[in-house]
Amino acid sequence: MHKFFILHLVDVFMQYNPSLMNSVFGLAKSFHLVEMHAYKLFVKMSKRSYSSRISLTFRESSFFVDPIKFAEKQNVRAWTSQISSLVRENQSIEAINLFKAMLKDEQKPNYVTVLSVIRAAEKWQPMVRGIHGFTIKMGFEIELPVVTALVGVYSIWDMDTAWQMFNHTKWKDVILWSAMASACVKSGEYVEAIEIFREMQFCGVEPNYVSIVGIVPACANLGALSIGKEIHAYSIKVPSISHVNIQNSLVDMYAKCGSLKASITVFRGIEKKDPVSWRSMIHGCVENGCFNEALSLFSEMRCCCFEPDEGVIREVIGALSQLDEIKIGQCFHSFALKQGFLGCVSVVTALLHMYGGFADIESARSLFDPLKSKDLIAWSTMIAAYAQSECPSNAFDIYRQMQSANEKPNEIIYVSLIQACSSITAEVIGEGIHAQVIKSGNTSNAFLITSLIDMYCRFGRISQGEAIFSECPNEDLICWSSMINGYGINGHGNEALQCFSDMLNSGIKPNDIVFVSVLSACSHCGLEYEGWNWFHAMEEQFGVTPKLAHYACMVDMISRQGNIEEAFEFVNNMPIEPDKRIWGTLLAVCRKTRVSVEISETVSKQLIALDP
């Protein structure tokens, strides 16, 4: 009697009060009622639209279920449950072996079983393709969860197949749309991700908060601020999808688009900030060059009882490196030690980079030597620190240690070693490193090519520098700048300007770095007239605002001509504050030439004020 009453409740609540269906479902299970009704209730509650084949099976089934079929279904569910548990515990191989055992036992898996196996096999391409074929054979390819899972797995290493599966699926739900957009973002197809997002709405599918979180990074990486603002407005308009993850993504997006003020506004509007909120905002400040603001945020984070994680510690160390605050950096080193972060290789590497920038090689080495599990980044950071220090030859000692540890060098390490060779004029070692670069197949790397051009030009071997430059497959700004600078330091001013002219004729627009090379060449070669022309053309013709490095080149050029008064007047009329490099250049010229005592004293006072 009770059973029939509960079955009646199932039918009534399915029609009139779906919100109470969970309770009725539990009650039905407790009375071991007919599986058809329980599963019917479950299907009604589902948010996704599965194939009509499943529902048809239940509609055609009689009130009384075949006990043998019922037992078979129970067995399949038991197998599936065990496989799913192994996948959740990251025991992929065990899950796959259990699936094989299930098939050997002649148990027919359902699409939920296949879902778990797809997740278990995502690291092995042939296996995924085999399981894909199995899903087609079993008729599960029409199940949206299966399609979504396969799209996610294929997107890791085969976006073409992911696109094919997505495009061949006629009826798509919000989860599949979101998965495809997210796959595009992860594979760097940002424009396509935004197009998917727009097409989804055009098809009448409303985005959920997962869709928004997935698409915002595409705007961030493209620098598409206007589209990002539209998505932000949509998230405000639909309160149901408002979520802290969306706000965190918006904080990151605005910062990457250079709109730090908007990023801070969104951050301040987050009621319940989580560690990701703080990390995103601190990273945004560092990314936009607001290093003091990053330190202030870190202090505020600590006051709000949030403990920093490894990522935040790295960001703060990066900010300190840029501020050139060695004492604060040492204090933060102590803080990281106290908090137990020196066990993280990435934090130690960040500290190595900081001390290298401070030219405090002893502190860097004291961190590097005890580090047990040195990764390639740690090796490259220590080598770079020595290459840029007063003891560049020690970079080769670290390199030999790295080779003894069976670590293979990357492009960054080769660049540092070439820089070290340039500093100590080690031609034989430099040629050996060049041979290793060729052997490793890194001859197309622009930074390596630039370093090699610079090295040979510093050795006075311009012809070899020209040969490397001419073999460059893609002559970009960095390569052109290096070749122009190479001509300049060897006194070939006209060749430097001709090289610059060739660059312009090739359609490449110069940036501030190229103009430093051009002005430096004019300075070294006494081409004062040409130097003034290009200095004025920077902003007038190319829209490049002169920076301190450009003004330093001009001061050096004027001073080399013995016009100390003109150089002094030029410095006083600069729109930006001169640094110690510029005042140092003037002081050096004052010592070599006859100049008024007043100018010498003024220059000396300015230099002492900047570098007491």
Q: 147-172 pLDDT, tens per residue?
A: 888 888 888 888 998 898 898 888 89
Burial class (CB in 10 A: 0-12, 13-18, 19+), 5: exposed
Give the model confidence (pLDDT) of 316-366 as tens digits.
999 999 887 788 999 999 999 999 998 888 999 999 999 998 889 999 999
Give the model confidence (pLDDT) of 33-48 as tens digits.
444 444 444 444 444 4
Distance CA 78, CA 85 (A): 11
For residue 30, what pLDDT band results from cuts at 50, 70 and 90? Answer: very low
Distance CA 253, CA 247 (A): 10
For residue 22, what pLDDT band results from cuts at 50, 70 and 90? Answer: very low
Distance CA 297, CA 276 (A): 13
User: Domain coordinates of the chain in residue numbers?
Assistant: 547-612
pLDDT of 386: 93
The answer to whether the CB of 235 falls within 8 A of the CB of 242 is yes
Cα-Cα end-to-end distance for the chain: 97
What is the overall mean pLDDT for the chain? 83
More confident residue, 43 or 115: 115
Q: Is the pLDDT of residue 592 over 90?
A: no
For residue 380, what pLDDT band results from cuts at 50, 70 and 90? Answer: very high
Q: What is the 3-state secondary structure (H, E, C) of 253-275?
A: HHHHCCCHHHHHHHHHCCCCCCH
Give the model confidence (pLDDT) of 88-107 as tens digits.
888 888 888 888 888 888 88
Give the model confidence (pLDDT) of 210-233 as tens digits.
889 999 999 999 999 999 999 999
Residues 6 or more apart whose Cβ sits within 8 Å of residue 254:
225, 228, 260, 262, 263, 266, 284
Q: Is the pLDDT of residue 477 over 90?
A: no
pLDDT of 85: 86
Q: Is the pLDDT of residue 417 over 90?
A: yes
pLDDT of 611: 65
> Which range has the worst mean pLDDT, 433-442, 540-549, 562-571?
562-571
Distance CA 505, CA 499 (A): 10
Structural element, H or E, at residue 347 = helix 345-357
